[in-house]
Amino acid sequence: MNLSMMPYHLSPEERTTLYGNQNPNMINLAVAENVLLFEKYLKNVFGDCSNLSVSDVKYVTAATFEDLQRTAAEFLSDSYGLTGDRRLGGEDIIGVSGVSAALECLAFSICEPGDSVLLPTPCWQGFEWCLSYRPNVRLIKIPLYPAEGFELTLKAVIAAYSSTEPKPRALVLTNPHNPLSINYDPAVLRSIYEWVLNQTDMHIISDEIYFHSQVGVPRHKFVSAFAMEPYSKDRVHAAWGFAKDFGVSGFKAGFVMTRAQAVLNKIKSQRMASLSPFDSLKIFMLLGKLLKRDSGQFIRRLVPVYQKELTNQFTLAKQALDRNGIKYFGTPEAAQFFWLDLTKYLGRAPDAPVMSAKEMRFWAHPEVEDERERKLDAYIKRRAEVALLPGQTMFCPAPGWFRLCFTCEEIDKVTEAIQRLANALKALGA
Ligand SMILES: Cc1ncc(COP(=O)(O)O)c(C=O)c1O
């Protein structure tokens, strides 16, 4: 394959979206999005913009920004179940343009260029662009393997830390997990926090973007970094945004959450939030229409409604996968994914036909090193007309795993895609 023709500037998810635009029959389950709330619950909320005033399209004032941060901090503290001095105040959170920007702000404020951080994999591929591209932080991956159930252990964290010189500045966690769709076991997390905070100088950055996305009654209860014991005000930081839990990914609205004065000072003094801003229109929409609606009760009532919708969608998608004997990792209990185990089909997909240069641009993911995974991905796209996200785009250390997002389309489309996928896999005869 001629890799020089690959558009490296696109993320794997953007690539599948562009591929889908050129192939209208394709169902794209590769992108992490959530359509469960908009039509039924949010269309009315965001539909009415008629009372926009000139102040809503001017630069955001400090007072409006503080109002947003205070209101969001109250909502998030309630959702996290934080009490007493663990509750977040408006001064502990900073609104920026998405969780990507929040992670970048944390990298800029905690690390110096050339520093490294530990990152368990598989994980969201965007950590690379948030942490590495501009902050110039090296990612030291902690590969978690299917044979060990992709389990994050204290032993693996210690091993990665011990073999890294100079010592890493932070451990980066995703909880709930993308793509594994689990909440980390609180006991395991506790042991990791204890070791990191007591035995090293590392910070912990917890990406909690999926934390309201809880499916049914999860096996492990989600515990936020701010509710964790032990805890360090100066070295524990988190990020959350509206993209996934409230299905408004295009708004690019997220928060840095930290009580570390030095980190807050650096973000503020270097005006990072002005460079990756939470702009006035977004604030009009999210603060005025969502966070403050019915004195804050609307969004609080929306969370259990969303969790019910999420659980229904999950159940129907799971039935379709089970009916067709498509295997996946564990039982998803949070976030929005099935982590499909298609390893038995590796090496069975036929060679792809010769492609036009135009087709080549969006057809394959150059991040996928394993030729068999690449071929299987291409086969699924061509034969089933379904796009999944191949695991090696998410730094999965073993080939054959694919992420299926079950919330990015209405259920009929998701189940149709699963049926088409099943038919295509059956044709491979494994
Ligand atoms: C774990 C994780 N963090 C961050 C992001 C990006 O969030 P945002 O769109 O708010 O920048 C994603 C998006 O897929 C994600 O899965």
241 lines ligand 1 (CB under 6 A): yes
| CA 308 – ligand 1 centroid, Å | 22
119 lines ligand 1 (CB under 6 A): no
**DSSP H or E run through 104:** helix 98-110
What is the pairing mode between strands 236-241 and 254-258? Answer: antiparallel
- Return the pLDDT at 419: 98
| CA 99 – ligand 1 centroid, Å | 6
Ligand 1 atom with the smallest distance to the CA of 174 is 1
- Return the pLDDT at 1: 40
CA distance 316 to 318: 5
Ligand 1 atom with the smallest distance to the CA of 243 is 10
Chain centroid to Cα 173, Å, comes to: 11
Give the mean pLDDT of 312-339: 98
176 lines ligand 1 (CB under 6 A): no
- Return the pLDDT at 8: 61
Q: Give the residue, by CA position, lying nearest to ligand 1 atom 7.
A: 99
Q: What is the pLDDT of residues 12-64, one digit of tens each?
A: 888 888 888 888 899 999 999 999 999 999 999 988 777 888 988 999 999 99
12 lines ligand 1 (CB under 6 A): no
- Asked if residues 135 and 289 have their Cβ atoms less than 8 Å apart, the reply is no
CA distance 269 to 424: 55
Chain centroid to Cα 230, Å, comes to: 25
Position 364 confidence tier, pLDDT thresholds 50, 70, 90 = confident
pLDDT, mean over the chain: 94
Residue with structure tokens 């492609």? 355
Q: What is the pLDDT of residues 237-265, one digit of tens each?
A: 999 999 999 999 999 999 999 999 999 99
- Asked if residues 88 and 236 have their Cβ atoms less than 8 Å apart, the reply is no
Provide the 3-class DSSP secondary structure of residue 288. Answer: helix
| CA 187 – ligand 1 centroid, Å | 26
Provide, rounded to the nearest whole percent, the portion of the chain with pLDDT above 90: 86
Token pair for residue 215? 């499916």
| CA 286 – ligand 1 centroid, Å | 18
Ligand 1 atom with the smallest distance to the CA of 254 is 10
pLDDT for 272 beyond 80: yes
- Return the pLDDT at 171: 98
- Asked if residues 411 and 316 have their Cβ atoms less than 8 Å apart, the reply is yes
254 lines ligand 1 (CB under 6 A): yes
